[in-house]
Amino acid sequence: MDVLAPPQYHRFSRPGPEPMSGSELPAYSRRQNTHRPQPIVRREPTEHTFVLTEGKSSPWITLKLRSSAKSSKSLPTYFEKETITGQLEVNAERGDSIQAITATLSGRIISGAGSNDCFVFLNQTLPVWAKSLDCPRVPSPSEGASSTKLLGHCVWPLSIPIPRTVELPSGGGDVRSYRLPETFLERYTKVSVQYDLTIVVSRGKLRSDNVLKTAFGYVPSSRPDAPSLLRQLVYQEKLPLPSPANDPEGWKTLRPVSARGLMFKTRPVEARCTLALAKPLCYTRGSVLPCYISLEGRESAVLDVLANPGSILVKLRRRVRFYNQATATRKEVSWNESVEDVGTAVWWNPANSGSDAYNRFLEGEIHLAKDLRPSCEMAHFSISYYVVLCPFKAANYSSDGAALLSEPVEVATMYAKGPRPNAYAPPAYDSPMGYRDDLSHVQHML
């Protein structure tokens, strides 16, 4: 499975009533699949070639890697549990001065240009060849690599496992195990996570070493837990999504909050808002984050304004937090943060929602970009996400700019086991800012 580009999800309309609750569902049996399953076609690994010539007519060091990248022009890319495989070739002629050859796997968090702005969290070295016969070596089919001097064209097969976790000291002084973060590099974020594979040919004291280095991409494997049984059935049968009242196990209903503001700059108004998010609170990038909101108020005209799909602003907010030694004049200012909204919910009025003059119910979802970086945490770096209920935005309505509610969520790279989520947003609601209110009747009522 290509984790970076999950398969497209289904879109369909929402006719008919909501599905029944889990206790009211009739018994059903699993359909027997009469179609022969199609064989899984796995893409052949992509080969990448890196060379070091140093003025010679032909390369004297060649590194060939096989990876899961889509193109040989891209960086080599490896997923969690994969092994870096390839081949190292050295045209040594008479390698009298070569003392050793090593391959080093490294991971760094880079937060600036200074030497103190780089934190190495992964450093793993594989001895490939050494002049001394007592040192470990990678077995080679080349006869010229069997003695204490390299002679001619020498080849070594490489197989370097990437660890899933690293042990690092935490802030409390103890040592914790952290999962490796995904490669991270963005133009406007002043921190990056970079992985490198470095080949070093060490020579004698009077000659400098030769270094061949390449960056590579790393993608961790993380998946949400399975949703409620009723939600799984709904996804499988392509049915409308049940509300929190009909599937309480499938939603986390957040604490109610009051939205207070002014209509036409003079009239105080208020509504009680309750936001619910689909459980578990971990969502696969490239899919959707289902939402549900209810609004309660004593004035129907106010609810007409606030319960408009274009008035409700629910954002997916990302926070990147990192430690920068250059700013550490005091401990409390050494941490830096970058906050960005990376998704906005679209809303619609569902059929048979149960809305009345004093209660409104809307369904929504946040579309997660397929290139969102997954949630992660390390000693010097973290990526976290929050669903934020922002102040309502409507014509002739104003309020305090502070967020009404915030709930932490996680972003994963793989789908949960079982049926995959469906997208429910009607095409007309794909752009939440495309709706324009007509408040002439509301102004008359207020």
Tokens of 141: 């089919």
- DSSP string for residues in 173-215: SSEEEEEPPPPB--TTSS-EEEEEEEEEEE--TTS--EEEEEE
**pLDDT class for 113, splitting at 50, 70, 90?**
confident
Beta bridge partners of 78: 218
**pLDDT value at 351 more than 60:** yes
Q: What are the pLDDT digits (tens) for 315-334?
A: 999 999 998 664 444 454 56
**C-alpha–C-alpha distance, residues 434 and 312, integer Å:** 13
C-alpha torsion angle, residues 231, 235, 240, 243 (rounded to 10): 20
**pLDDT value at 436 more than 70:** no
**C-alpha–C-alpha distance, residues 104 and 355, integer Å:** 62
The pLDDT assigned to 25 comes to 41
Tokens of 21: 């609750």
Q: What are the pLDDT digits (tens) for 165-218?
A: 999 987 667 889 999 999 999 988 989 999 999 999 998 777 888 999 999 999
The pLDDT assigned to 26 comes to 42
Q: What are the pLDDT digits (tens) for 278-315?
A: 999 999 999 999 999 999 999 999 999 999 999 999 99
The pLDDT assigned to 415 comes to 96
The pLDDT assigned to 192 comes to 94
Mean pLDDT of the chain: 85
Residues in the chain: 446
Q: Are 335 and 323 in contact (CB under 8 A)?
A: yes
Other Cβ atoms closer than 10 A to 363: 24
**pLDDT class for 434, splitting at 50, 70, 90?**
very low
**C-alpha–C-alpha distance, residues 270 and 303, integer Å:** 9
Phi, psi angle pair for 278, to nearest 5°: -65, 135
**C-alpha–C-alpha distance, residues 190 and 381, integer Å:** 12
Nearest to 420 by CA among 280, 254, 288: 288
**pLDDT class for 274, splitting at 50, 70, 90?**
very high
Q: What are the pLDDT digits (tens) for 24-81?
A: 444 433 344 434 445 555 678 999 999 998 776 788 899 999 999 999 999 999 999 9
First-to-last CA distance in the chain? Answer: 56
The pLDDT assigned to 97 comes to 83
**C-alpha–C-alpha distance, residues 268 and 299, integer Å:** 11
**pLDDT value at 95 more than 90:** no
**pLDDT value at 15 more than 80:** no
**pLDDT value at 247 more than 90:** yes
**C-alpha–C-alpha distance, residues 446 and 440, integer Å:** 10
Q: What is the mean pLDDT of residues 99-114?
A: 92
Q: Are 424 and 363 in contact (CB under 8 A)?
A: yes
